[in-house]
């Protein structure tokens, strides 16, 4: 080999060494990056851990807070609001009733035909209407005039001439899911505007009366027979179908629960008159808080940056509004700490860009290459070409966040059951029997559930049911039924209008 050949061979060897060194260094960097994201995931798993012992502590804390909220006004973060609903539908209601369900930017009008026999809702029609943007910041009269005219149109389209005579008053259930101080089962004053509404002259006014006046102005002969929130509507529908229903929970954009309480347990309202001996209590459980809740730095940051810090702590760990954003925060941390996602995408910095239906879609992705995960990372977060092992990691993040939410939700439900003595065998035994040591048979207990998170997110539902079994023990859990009440908030209000129009319940104290 000549000198030139030797030089060439040496150059080639050197180049090979450099390439190898670069490759080794890249591989080491990749490994370091991978180790860092795995550490972020492990920290998340540890921070979100919900072993059954901790869930039982949450159960106890929920029951304790419920007692405190019933004992005195402001005694707990749980408001435990009186609804003045003493009687729930029995299934025997008969006739045609209407409902108006006003939630965020849409309202729905419903008409329900009841046959007078259990579980026979003969017919129901629903129409969804958007509320024009300008009316959300206008005046009470303008908003309610708009709603009343749409309701009147709906009534005229649906009704046969023979159904109502000109003088006959129709009965309406009004579902109004905003903070209201209820004065009776059909009246209540608005405490504050939320969810994008800003109609200052409505605050402090009786919303039923505002609607009633608008209906009169627009020539609609209809009476607001019940004013309820969505949880109470859902409980009413649950009870209509199944009288063992004692509580209802909403898992949608937000979360809340209500249940049937003994009137004498509502200590803050002594001397409450109730023909049935009970009253539905609206817990406003989204604001529940306990030091036993497993809280991570992501939850702390989300809360600090929210418009309502220190408020709705339970809701911020559980509801559809927030789960996607917790996942976004974890992926952002992973992306900042390593380059497994490539350069940090500016989209990851946008709050609420990753919505909960997207994390459900990633979590449910059963394609071998996780194509849905790749699509959402690319299209929503502008992170292209994510390797499969990193996509798997993202699915795991969705799993950890949703599993914690569902298990805490289950603990909340068992907290309610504990408060009313339905969480254990013999819990409903008469005291003499219990003292004698004989266990009475566990009563069947039904909890009605409504909301897009529960209905559409399979893994949320499965984790919730699994945790109910773990906390209660299978022998008790088999007597507890979680029942999906689709459209409960609307139909339930019509049912309450029906039961209240016929009811002799004493609404006022
Ligand atoms: P709202 O709570 O606003 O009255 P819904 O009960 O319909 O309305 O719930 C809507 C919420 O449910 C959405 O904000 C979203 O968080 C959640 N959601 C809707 N679809 C899905 C889905 N496919 N997977 C997971 N969550 C969903
Ligand atoms: Mg709703």
Query: How do residues 18-50 score in pLDDT, each as one tens digit?
Result: 565 555 566 666 788 899 999 999 999 999 999
Å from CA of 322 to ligand 1 middle = 11
pLDDT of residue 178: 85
102 and 147 Cβ atoms separated by less than 8 Å: yes
26-30, 32-36, 63-67, 492-496: which has the minimum mean pLDDT? 26-30
Among 230, 253, 461, name the best residue to mutate to test ligand 1's pocket (greatest count of ligand atoms within 8 A of Cβ).
253
Å from CA of 315 to ligand 1 middle = 14
pLDDT of residue 509: 27
What's the rounded Cα separation, in Å, for the pair 368 and 483?
33
Instruction: Report, in angstroms and rounded to the nearest whole number, the Rg of the chain calculated over CA atoms.
Output: 28
Provide residues with CB under 6 Å of ligand 1: 103-104, 252-253, 320-321, 356-357, 360, 451-453, 456-457
Ligand located closest to 101 CA: 2
pLDDT of residue 430: 40
What's the rounded Cα separation, in Å, for the pair 316 and 50?
16
pLDDT of residue 436: 41
User: Atom 13 (ligand 1): residue with closest C-alpha?
Assistant: 253
Give SS3 for 354: coil
Which atom belonging to ligand 1 lies closest to the Cα atom of 489?
Answer: 4
Span 257-286, average pLDDT: 89
347 and 382 Cβ atoms separated by less than 8 Å: yes
Å from CA of 184 to ligand 2 middle = 22
Using one digit for the tens of pLDDT, what is the confidence trace for 374-415?
Answer: 999 999 999 999 999 999 999 999 999 999 999 999 999 999
pLDDT at 471 over 80: yes
Q: Is 108 a catalytic residue?
A: yes
pLDDT at 507 over 60: no
Alpha helix positions (H), 159-287 = 207-217, 230-241
User: Atom 7 (ligand 1): residue with closest C-alpha?
Assistant: 452
Q: Which of 101, 103, 206, 230 is catalytic?
A: 230
What's the rounded Cα separation, in Å, for the pair 170 and 172?
7
pLDDT of residue 61: 98
Using one digit for the tens of pLDDT, what is the confidence trace for 44-62?
Answer: 999 999 999 999 999 999 9
In percent, how much of the chain has pLDDT > 70? Answer: 87
Å from CA of 456 to ligand 1 middle = 7
Could you tell me the pLDDT band of residue 433, with boundaries at 50, 70 and 90?
very low
Span 93-107, average pLDDT: 87
488 and 248 Cβ atoms separated by less than 8 Å: yes
CA 420 to mean position of chain CA atoms: 22
| 37, two tokens | 């994201």
Å from CA of 354 to ligand 1 middle = 13
Residue 258 CA: distances (Å) to CA of 81, 407, 409, 465, 496: 9, 19, 14, 19, 15
Which atom belonging to ligand 1 lies closest to the Cα atom of 355?
Answer: 16
400 and 50 Cβ atoms separated by less than 8 Å: no
| 373, two tokens | 């995960």
Q: What is the DSSP string of 271-315?
A: T---SSSEEEEE--GGG---TTS---HHHHHHHHTSSSTTSSHHH
Could you tell me the pLDDT band of residue 506, with boundaries at 50, 70 and 90?
very low
Å from CA of 286 to ligand 1 middle = 16
pLDDT of residue 3: 66
What's the rounded Cα separation, in Å, for the pair 106 and 345?
34
Q: Is 311 a catalytic residue?
A: no
- Which of these, 280, 184, 197, lies nearest to 233 by C-alpha position? 280
User: Atom 8 (ligand 1): residue with closest C-alpha?
Assistant: 252
Å from CA of 115 to ligand 1 middle = 32
Could you tell me the pLDDT band of residue 119, with boundaries at 50, 70 and 90?
low
User: Atom 21 (ligand 1): residue with closest C-alpha?
Assistant: 357
- Helix, strand, coil percentages for the chain (3-state, nearest 5): 50, 15, 35
**Local structure of residue 502 (DSSP, 8 states):** H
pLDDT at 439 over 80: no
Q: Which of 103, 145, 170, 177 is catalytic?
A: 177
End-to-end CA distance of the chain: 110
Could you tell me the pLDDT band of residue 279, with boundaries at 50, 70 and 90?
very high
Among 320, 353, 372, name the best residue to mutate to test ligand 1's pocket (greatest count of ligand atoms within 8 A of Cβ).
320
Q: Which of 76, 103, 108, 319 is catalytic?
A: 108
pLDDT of residue 40: 98
Span 242-248, average pLDDT: 96
What's the rounded Cα separation, in Å, for the pair 107 and 129?
5
Q: Give the number of other Cβ atoms within 10 Å of residue 431's Cβ.
A: 7
What's the rounded Cα separation, in Å, for the pair 115 and 94?
5
List of residues 6+ apart from 395 with CB closer than 8 A:
362, 363, 365, 370, 373
pLDDT of residue 193: 80
Q: Which residues surround ligand 2, an ion (CB under 5 A)?
A: 230, 252
pLDDT at 502 over 70: no
For the question of whether the overall pTM of this predicted structure is more than 0.85, the answer is yes
What's the rounded Cα separation, in Å, for the pair 419 and 417?
5
- Helix and strand numbers (H, E) in the chain are 16, 13
pLDDT of residue 11: 63
Residue 60 CA: distances (Å) to CA of 87, 267, 412, 416, 424: 28, 20, 9, 10, 13
Helix (H) or strand (E) holding 190, with range, is: strand 187-190
Q: Is 186 a catalytic residue?
A: no
**Local structure of residue 86 (DSSP, 8 states):** -
344 and 334 Cβ atoms separated by less than 8 Å: no
Span 69-77, average pLDDT: 95
pLDDT at 89 over 60: yes
Could you tell me the pLDDT band of residue 13, with boundaries at 50, 70 and 90?
low
Using one digit for the tens of pLDDT, what is the confidence trace for 187-232?
Answer: 999 988 877 788 889 999 999 999 999 999 999 999 999 999 999 9
| 167, two tokens | 């003088």
Among 453, 455, 493, name the best residue to mutate to test ligand 1's pocket (greatest count of ligand atoms within 8 A of Cβ).
453
176-190, 332-346, 362-376: which has the minimum mean pLDDT? 176-190
What's the rounded Cα separation, in Å, for the pair 131 and 195?
13
Q: Which residue has the higher pLDDT, 488 or 121?
A: 488
């Amino acid at each position: 080999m000549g000198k030139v050949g030797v030089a060439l061979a040496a150059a080639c060897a050197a180049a090979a060494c450099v390439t190898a060194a670069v490759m080794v260094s890249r591989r080491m960097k990749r490994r370091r990056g991978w180790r860092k994201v795995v550490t972020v995931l492990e920290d998340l798993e540890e921070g979100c851990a919900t072993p059954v012992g901790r869930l039982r502590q949450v159960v106890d804390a929920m029951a304790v807070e419920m007692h405190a909220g019933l004992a005195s006004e402001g005694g707990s973060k749980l408001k435990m609001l009186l609804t003045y609903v003493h009687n729930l539908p029995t299934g025997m209601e008969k006739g045609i009733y209407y409902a108006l369900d006003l939630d965020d930017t849409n309202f729905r009008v419903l008409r329900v035909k009841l046959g007078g026999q259990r579980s026979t809702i003969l017919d129901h029609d629903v129409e969804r209407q958007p509320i024009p943007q300008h009316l959300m910041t206008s005046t009470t009269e303008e908003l309610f005039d708009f709603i009343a005219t749409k309701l009147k149109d709906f009534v005229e389209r649906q009704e046969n001439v023979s159904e109502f005579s000109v003088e006959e008053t129709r009965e309406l259930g009004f579902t109004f899911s905003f903070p209201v101080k209820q004065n009776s089962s059909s009246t209540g004053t608005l405490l504050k505007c939320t969810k994008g509404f800003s109609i200052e002259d409505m605050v402090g006014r009786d919303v039923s009366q505002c609607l009633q006046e608008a209906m009169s102005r627009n020539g609609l002969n209809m009476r607001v027979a019940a004013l309820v929130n969505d949880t109470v509507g859902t409980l009413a529908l649950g009870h209509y179908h199944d009288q063992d229903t004692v509580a209802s929970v909403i898992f949608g954009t937000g979360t809340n629960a209500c249940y049937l309480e003994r009137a004498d347990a509502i200590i803050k309202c002594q001397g409450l008159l109730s023909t049935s001996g009970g009253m539905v209590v609206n817990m406003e459980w989204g604001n529940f808080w306990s030091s036993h809740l497993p809280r991570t730095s992501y939850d702390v940051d989300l809360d600090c940056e929210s418009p309502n810090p220190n408020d709705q702590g339970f809701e911020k760990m559980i509801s559809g509004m927030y789960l996607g954003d917790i996942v976004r925060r974890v992926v952002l941390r992973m992306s900042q700490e390593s380059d497994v996602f490539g350069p940090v995408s500016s989209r990851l910095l946008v709050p609420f860009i990753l919505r909960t239906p997207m994390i459900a879609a990633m979590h449910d992705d059963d394609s071998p290459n996780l194509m849905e995960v790749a699509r959402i990372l690319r299209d929503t977060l502008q992170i292209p070409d994510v390797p499969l092992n990193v996509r798997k990691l993202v699915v795991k993040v969705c799993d950890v966040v949703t599993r914690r939410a569902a298990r805490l939700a289950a603990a909340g439900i068992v907290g309610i059951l504990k408060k009313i003595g339905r969480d254990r065998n013999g819990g409903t035994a008469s005291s003499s029997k219990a003292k004698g040591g004989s266990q009475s048979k566990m009563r069947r207990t039904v909890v009605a559930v409504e909301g897009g998170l529960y209905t559409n997110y399979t893994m949320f539902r499965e984790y919730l049911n699994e945790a109910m079994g773990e906390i209660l023990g299978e022998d008790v859990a088999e007597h507890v039924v979680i029942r999906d009440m689709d459209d409960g908030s609307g139909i339930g209000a019509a049912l309450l209008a029906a039961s209240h129009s016929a009811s002799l319940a004493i609404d006022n104290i």
